[in-house]
């Protein structure tokens, strides 16, 4: 995978994603509520496709203050931003594409995480790869540990793709008209060479649920907000 798109937008990312993805903030808030309701504070934490550390910082108040975080991302600038945000709790930084054998072997050690976050990091993968990654997460999360999987999904579009895209388009247009989305960010996104574009591959939420169940997780009903979903899995076997 090519990470130029993400390398270019590191400084804009934390302010722009809440404006571009209507489900993003509700889902990160839900993550914190869920981790805060576990009855224990996770200590060994994986953030897969961490970006600037947004999901980890969202759940941090509910985690062990002495927690050890493993960060994985293919964009070096994102890893630097996450490290700067999360400081001394970062135990390991893995730079690379987590679909490749080398990075996967470093990341998915058996039974080592209490909590894994995979937040808006799988929607460039085909379903086969998504399933492999979820299987690998299943092997590396301890029994009783939790996977929070958030991503773009295909099934919250009952009247078809256009309905959700119209809603999302209207929200984004409002942010553009008001200037909340700055021209500099728009220019970066629209000037990306076409051969560097990443595919947008939302999966059916029932398929994601099934992938998690087959990887050994007891899975909740998803939380869905305008085309984005949060699934919660507890490692049960
Ligand atoms: C949309 S951002 C999500 C960042 C963060 N998890 C969040 O919830 O805001 C996607 C991040 O995943 C990383 N990413 C996507 N696919 C990846 C892959 N195959 N290997 C490593 N990193 C990946 C990108 O570089 C980017 O930083």
The CATH number of residue 9's host domain is 3.40.50.150
Residue 161: predicted pLDDT: 65
Residue 135: predicted pLDDT: 98
Residue 13's pLDDT band (cuts 50, 70, 90): very high
**What span, in angstroms and rounded, lies between the C-alpha atoms of 44 and 145?**
10
Q: Ligand 1: distance of its center to the CA of 121 in Å? A: 4
Residue nearest to atom 12 of ligand 1 (CA): 49
* C-alpha distances in Å from residue 218, one per residue of 22, 24, 224: 27, 23, 18
Total domains in the fold of the chain: 1
Task: Write the pLDDT tens digit of every residue in 68-91.
Answer: 999 999 999 999 999 999 999 999
Q: Ligand 1: distance of its center to the CA of 75 in Å? A: 8
Residue 163: predicted pLDDT: 86
Q: Please, what is the average pLDDT of the chain? A: 96
Q: Can you give the residue range of the structural domain that contains 80?
A: 4-235
Q: Is the CB of 121 under 6 A from ligand 1?
A: yes
Q: Ligand 1: distance of its center to the CA of 73 in Å? A: 6
Residue 155's pLDDT band (cuts 50, 70, 90): confident
Residue 156's pLDDT band (cuts 50, 70, 90): confident
In this structure, what DSSP letter does residue 41 have?
-
Q: Is the CB of 85 under 6 A from ligand 1?
A: no
- Give percent of the chain above pLDDT 70: 97
Question: Is pTM beyond 0.85 here?
Answer: yes
């Amino acid at each position: 995978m090519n990470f130029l798109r993400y390398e270019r937008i590191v400084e804009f990312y934390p302010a722009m994603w809440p404006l571009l993805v209507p489900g993003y903030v509700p889902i990160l808030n839900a993550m914190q509520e869920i981790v805060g309701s576990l009855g224990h504070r996770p200590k060994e934490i994986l953030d897969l496709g961490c970006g600037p550390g947004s999901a980890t910082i969202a759940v941090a108040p509910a985690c062990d203050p002495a927690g050890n975080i493993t960060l994985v991302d293919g964009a070096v600038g994102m890893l630097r931003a996450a490290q700067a945000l999360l400081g001394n709790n970062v135990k390991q930084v893995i730079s690379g594409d987590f679909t490749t054998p080398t990075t996967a072997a470093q990341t998915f050690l058996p039974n080592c995480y209490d909590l894994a976050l995979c937040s808006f990091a799988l929607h460039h993968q085909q379903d086969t790869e998504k399933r492999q990654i979820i299987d690998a997460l299943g092997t590396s999360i301890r029994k009783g540990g939790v996977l929070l999987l958030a991503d773009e999904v295909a099934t919250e579009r009952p009247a078809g793709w256009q309905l959700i895209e119209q809603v999302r388009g209207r929200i984004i247009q409002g942010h553009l008209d008001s200037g909340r989305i700055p021209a500099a960010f728009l220019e970066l996104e629209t000037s990306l060479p076409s051969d560097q574009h990443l595919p947008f591959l939302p999966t059916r939420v029932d398929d994601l649920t099934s992938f998690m169940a087959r990887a050994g997780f007891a899975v909740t009903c998803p939380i869905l907000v305008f085309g984005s979903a949060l699934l919660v899995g507890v490692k049960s076997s």
